[in-house]
Structure 1
Amino acid sequence: MSKHFLSAAIIILSLSIIYCGMQIGISNSNQKNKKEVSNLDKGLLTIEETAKYLSMSVDQLEEIIFHQDIERADLTSFDIYEFIPYIKVNDEKYFNKVQVNEWIKYNATEWAEINY
């Protein structure tokens, strides 16, 4: 009987070591994936990240913002996504990726042409 008990204990111990090894491997891969999250997946994008996301230069994006800000200042009301939405913190502009996507959709469906 002690031979069977020893064999069962060895099998259980082996299975538990294999299981723990698998859990550690899964945990490590999840941590690597979290570290590799792209900057474009974060909540707010800088003007450089937004320009890259829109496949344009920072100068082009700043020019669009400049002209849209002038247009927006003259209006009392406008559709929310008519102009690219951003927030300004300490003179730095930040963009919400979801709202940038909505701005793209709005301007694509309104057949807006942006030439500045």
Structure 2
Amino acid sequence: MKSIPISILLASVILGISFIVGCLLLSNQGRASESTQAVEQDVPNNNKTLMTIQETAEYLSMTKEQVMDIIKAEQGSFSASGFFEGKMFPFIKVQDQFLVSRIELELWAQDASSSHRRYINGQMQ
């Protein structure tokens, strides 16, 4: 029986190990992309035209109650004086549900922050 040269045996072992490591890397990459997709599904869709109050609160890093307090404060200020200086919180009400325009919300946030508005205990200061 012929003996196999050590160089060929060593090359075969290295090739086999490389093949196994490559397969493991590819399978882990597939799992990583699946987990990334799962995480992306948990994030609110920032491309929606209208968002619920809960989505709006998450988008602004606030609570739902804080968002509702802002709406009430601005509506109260408008009702009391008959006008509102600046941009009001951009919502529409469909039946009992408030919906907020994402694009207008960004403009409102710029206006509210540039004019340093204060909302304390459901009232504008």
Sort the TM-score into its range (normalised by shorter chain).
0.5 to 0.7
What letter matches 1:106 in structure 2?
D
Normalising by structure 2, we get a TM-score of 0.56
Q: Partner of 1:61 in structure 2?
A: 67
Q: Partner of 1:84 in structure 2?
A: 89
Q: Partner of 1:109 in structure 2?
A: 114
Q: Distance in 1 between matches of 2:15 and 2:62?
A: 56
| Residues 88-107 of structure 1: per-residue CA shift (max 9 Å, x gap) | 67864444656534422220
Match of 1:14 among 10, 13, 17: 17
Cα distance change, pair 25–106 in 1 and its aligned pair in 2 (3 A): same
Q: Partner of 2:38 in structure 1?
A: 35
Among all aligned residue pairs of Structure 1 and Structure 2, give the percentage whose two residues are the same amino acid: 17
Q: Secondary structure at the match of 1:27?
A: helix
Q: Bigger radius of gyration, 1 or 2?
A: 2
Q: Distance in 2 between matches of 1:67 and 1:42?
A: 27
Normalising by structure 1, we get a TM-score of 0.59
Please state if 1:50 is matched with 2:56.
yes
What is the count of residue pairs matched by the alignment? Answer: 109
Cα distance change, pair 109–90 in 1 and its aligned pair in 2 (3 A): same
Q: Secondary structure at the match of 2:22?
A: helix
The structural deviation recorded for 1:47 is 0.8
Q: Distance in 2 between matches of 1:99 and 1:39?
A: 24
The structural deviation recorded for 1:23 is 1.9
The structural deviation recorded for 1:19 is 1.5
Cα distance change, pair 40–29 in 1 and its aligned pair in 2 (3 A): closer
The structural deviation recorded for 1:12 is 1.2
Asked if structure 2 preserves the Cα contact closer than 8 Å seen for 1:40 and 1:49, the reply is no
Q: Secondary structure at the match of 1:42?
A: coil
Query: Which sections of structure 2, spanning at least 5 residues, go unmatched?
Result: none
Asked if structure 1 preserves the Cα contact closer than 8 Å seen for 2:52 and 2:99, the reply is yes
